[in-house]
Amino acid sequence: MATIGTDILSVKKLLSAGEVVGIPTETVYGLAGNAFNDDAVLKIFSVKNRPQFDPLIVHTDSIAHAATFVRSFPQKAKQLAEAFWPGPLTLLLPKSDAVSDLVTSGLSTVAVRIPNHPLTLELLACLDFPLAAPSANPFGYISPTSAQHVENQLGKKIPYILDGGESTVGIESTIVGFEGEDAVVYRLGGIAVEAIERIIGPVQTVSHSTSNPKAPGMLKSHYSPRKPLFINHLPEILQQYSPSKIGSLTFNHLVDSIPAENQRVLSPTADYPEAAKHLFAYMRQLDSLPIDVIYAELLPDKDLGRAINDRIRRAAVREV
Ligand code: TXA
Ligand code: MG
C-alpha cells in the first residue's frame, strides 16, 4: 500500500531520492519521477509495465523553465502555451541535451506540459528538476482520475500518492506538435480542437487508429476495460446477453431495456466537460459491476465529444 496524503515535503524527499510517486493533475493522475534522473525514469517504465519505446511527458511550472529544456519554441507554440498553460495541453518541441533519450524514447522532440493543479504546481515550485510523468495506470488500462484509482492498481509498487481529489478535466491532455510552422494535433484531449483553432487558425488532426501512430502510446487498446465494450448494436447485444448482464455508457439519456443500476450517463445535461470528467471513473465502475458486457454510445463529434469518442473507440472491441 502507498501512503495517500498531501505532504509535499515528503514527496519532494522521495522524488529527490529517485523514487516515483503518484501526482494529481487536472487531466488524470500521473506517475512522476525526476525527469533528469535516468534511474527514476527507468523506474517509471517498469512500475507502469510500459515499453521503453513509448516516450514520457515532462511536466514543469513555467514557460521559462520549459525553455531551458527545449531548443526552440515556435511562434504558434508560444501562442498556445500562453493561451492554455497551466492546462490540458502538451506541446511537442525540439529537445535540448538536458533531456535524456530515455524520456523521449530517442525522438528529437520532447513532450512538455504545465499541469493545472494547485498541489502539483506547489510541488513543482519546490523542486529543482521537472517531472516525467505518464498517466498512472498499468500500460493498456484506463487512466486514473483519483488517488484511490492509483492505489488500486499501482499502490503496491510506489511509496506515496499525492492526493489532489478528483481530476477536474478527466481526460488526458491534447498533444500538439509542429511540422515546420504548421501545428498538428496528435492526440485529442482536454482542450478541444476548436479552442486551439481559435488561437492559431486551422490545424490538422492526425488519427491514431492506424497501426503505426506517431504517438506510440495511442494504440487502439490503450484504454481498455477488462469487460468487452461494444459501440452501438444494442439489439444484437440483447439477443446474446440477459439485460441484467449488460451495462451501458451513454452521453445524456438512459437506455430502455437495461436495468438503471447498470447504466452510467456521462452528463444528463449534455455538458461536454462534465462528460469528460466522468468518463474514466464510469468505465471503471462498469468494469467492476457484475455484468458481462458494456454497451456504449458515441457523443456528437464536436468539442470535447471528439476526445471522449476517441477514448470510447479505443476501449471498444467492436464498432458500428
Ligand atoms: O494529461 C496528460 O497528458 C497526462 C498527465 C499525467 O499529464 N499524461 C499522459 O501521459 O497522458 P501518457 O504517457 O499516458 O501519454 C503521453 C503520450 C504517449 O502516448 C506518448 O507516446 C506521447 O504522449 N508522447 C510523449 N512524448 C512524445 C514525443 N516526443 N513525440 C510524440 N509523442 C509523444
Ligand atoms: Mg496514458
CATH at 112: 3.90.870.10
How many separate domains does the chain show?
2
Model pLDDT, residue 209: 47
Classify residue 216: in a domain, yes or no: no
In short, whether 218's Cβ falls inside 6 Å of ligand 1 is: yes
Q: Clarify whether residues 69 and 123 are in a common domain.
A: yes
Q: State CA 282 to chain mean position distance.
A: 15
How big is the chain, counted in residues?
Answer: 320
Within this chain, do residues 107 and 48 fall inside the same structural domain, yes or no?
A: yes
Range of the domain at 287: 229-316
Model pLDDT for residues 127-178, shown as the tens digit of each residue = 999 999 999 999 888 999 999 999 999 999 999 999 999 999 999 999 999 9
pLDDT one-digit tens code per residue, 44-62: 999 999 999 999 999 999 9
Same domain, 171 and 269: no
239 Cα to the center of ligand 2, angstroms:
35
User: For residue 198, what are the CA distances in angstroms to 172, 191, 194, 202?
Assistant: 20, 12, 6, 8
Is 109 part of any known ligand binding site?
yes
- Evaluate whether residue 219 is within a structural domain: no
User: Atom 3 of ligand 1 has which residue's CA nearest to it?
Assistant: 173
The rounded distance, in Å, linking the Cα atoms of 35 and 270 is 39
Answer whether residue 288 is part of any domain. yes
For residue 161, what are the CA distances in angstroms to 5, 49, 58, 68?
7, 18, 18, 28
Known binding residue 221? Answer is no
Our answer on whether the CB atom of 215 is closer than 6 Å to any ligand 1 atom is: yes
* Ligand 1 atom with minimal separation from the 30 CA: 6
Dump pLDDT digits (tens) for 203-251.
999 976 433 344 444 444 556 678 999 999 999 999 999 999 999 999 9
Statement to judge: residues 51 and 113 lie in one domain: yes
> What pLDDT does residue 221 have?
53
Q: Is 318 annotated as a binding residue?
A: no
Q: Does residue 33 lie within any of the structural domains?
A: yes
What pLDDT is recorded for position 214?
46
d(CA 133, ligand 2 centre) in Å: 9
